[in-house]
Amino acid sequence: MKARNTSIVSMVIVGALASGAALADNGWYVGGSIGQAYIDERVDTIQLEADSTTFRIFGGYAFGDHIALEASYLDLGTFRDTVDVGGVPVNVSADADGFSIAGVGRLPLSERWSLRGKAGLFFWDGQSTVNGITENDPGDQNAFVGAGLGYDLSEKAGLFLDVEYYDLDGVEPLLATVGFSFRF
């Protein structure tokens, strides 16, 4: 499954590079976003339902108005919950962060509004704890997808609202973020 995900993402990125070469308005951009991540999953045999504050710092290159290649650092934050184990409250937590590379597509709706789509690979490390004791230090690379809505404040600056879905070896956080980007 991982090889298939890697192949699909590689094809998206190569396609973005090849088709973007003929488009106008090429350029570099940087930005950041902040929001909420939510999970309702079994982590190391314990059911964890929690949310956390997440943030991302990113940079990329736009191959015209519709296609971009983007690299980022993403911190999913720390998911904390107290679960009942045989009548005893147990504090559990899980966190993950890492780097990603993604192909980003943009479909203009008007002069300022656009729909956004994203697919890529997330290279991450995580940690889960039970009552403050580290239980597991997972890490891997997994595919992710996202969609959103963008608004251009000017030719150089824009705002966006994104929703992204990750599958981190069976733990599937869902993110909702708001962000800002600046084009050079």
Which residues of the chain, if any, have pLDDT below 50?
Answer: 1, 3-24
> What CATH number is attached to the domain comprising 145?
2.40.160.20
pLDDT at 25: 66
Interatomic CA distance for residues 131 and 138, integer angstroms: 18
Which residues in 41-52 are b (16+ Cβ under 10 Å) and which e? bebeebebebbb
Q: Are 94 and 86 in contact (CB under 8 A)?
A: no
Domain that holds residue 46: 2-183
pLDDT at 45: 66
pLDDT at 1: 46
Split into its structural domains, the chain has a count of 1
Structure tokens at 150: 């963008």
CB neighbourhood size of 177 (10 A): 21
Strands (E), the chain: 27-43, 46-62, 67-85, 88-108, 113-130, 133-136, 139-152, 157-166, 174-183
pLDDT at 84: 81
